[in-house]
Amino acid sequence: MKLKVQPLDIKVGKFKVVLNTSDAKELGIIAGDRVRLRGIKSITAIVDTTDDMVSAGMVGIYHEAQGALGLQWTEPVDVMPAKRPSSIEFIKKMMRKEKLTKDEIYNIVRDVVDESLSDIELSAFIVASEINSLTDDEVEWLTRAMIDTGERIEFDTHPIMDKHSIGGVPGNKISLLVVPIVAAAGLMIPKTSSRAITGAGGTADLMEMLSPVNFSASEIKEITEKTNGALVWGGGTNIAPADDKLIRIEYPLSADPHCQLLASIMAKKGAVGADNVVIDIPTGTGTKVPTLVEGRKLARDLISLGERLGMNVECAMTYGSSPIGRTVGPALEVNEALKVLETTKGPNSLIEKSVSLAGILLEMGGVSARGRGHDDALKYLRSGKAHAKMMEIIEAQGGDPTVKSGDILPAENKIELKAVTSGYIIELDNKRLVEIARMLGAPNDKHAGIKIHKKKGELVKVDETILTLYAEKDWKLTQAIESAQRETPIIVEGMLLERMPKFREV
Residues that bind a second copy (CB under 8 A): 8, 10-11, 18, 25-26, 28, 30-33, 50, 52-53, 60, 63, 84, 88, 91-92, 95, 97, 118-124, 126-128, 130-132, 197, 248-249, 251-255, 438-439, 441, 444-445
- Residue 427: helix, strand or coil by DSSP? strand
Give the nearer residue to a second copy in terms of CB position, either 126 or 299.
Answer: 126
Give the nearer residue to a second copy in terms of CB position, either 48 or 275.
Answer: 48
Give the nearer residue to a second copy in terms of CB position, either 127 or 147.
Answer: 127
Smallest CA-to-CA distance from 83 within 13, 28, 14 is with 28
Distance between CA 204 and CA 225 in Å, rounded?
Answer: 20
Give the nearer residue to a second copy in terms of CB position, either 60 or 373.
Answer: 60
Distance between CA 351 and CA 345 in Å, rounded?
Answer: 8
Helices (H) and strands (E) in the chain, counts: 19, 18
Give the nearer residue to a second copy in terms of CB position, either 131 or 369.
Answer: 131
Least CB distance to a second copy at residue 357 (A): 29
**Which of 119, 256, 463, 474 is labelled catalytic?**
256
Distance between CA 422 and CA 104 in Å, rounded?
Answer: 62
Q: Is residue 256 flagged as an active site residue?
A: yes
* 300 close to 289: Cβ distance less than 8 angstroms: no
Distance between CA 126 and CA 111 in Å, rounded?
Answer: 14
Give one word for 463, left, alpha or beta, with left for phi > 0 and alpha for psi -120 to 50: left
Smallest CA-to-CA distance from 425 within 457, 467, 468 is with 457
Least CB distance to a second copy at residue 251 (A): 5
Least CB distance to a second copy at residue 281 (A): 22
Least CB distance to a second copy at residue 241 (A): 16
Least CB distance to a second copy at residue 444 (A): 4
Least CB distance to a second copy at residue 476 (A): 9
Please list, in sequence order, all residues whose beta carbon lies within 8 angstroms of the beta carbon of residue 176, skipping any fewer than 6 positions away. Answer: 203, 206, 207, 231, 333, 334, 337, 338, 341, 390
Bridge-based pairing of strands 465-470 and 414-418 is antiparallel
Question: What DSSP assignment string belongs to 80-117?
Answer: EEEPPPTHHHHHHHHHTTPPPPHHHHHHHHHHHHTT-S
Give the nearer residue to a second copy in terms of CB position, either 197 or 369.
Answer: 197
Q: What is the DSSP letter of 497?
A: P
Question: What DSSP assignment string belongs to 308-327?
Answer: HHT-EEEEEEEE-SS-STTE
Catalytic residue positions, numbered: 256
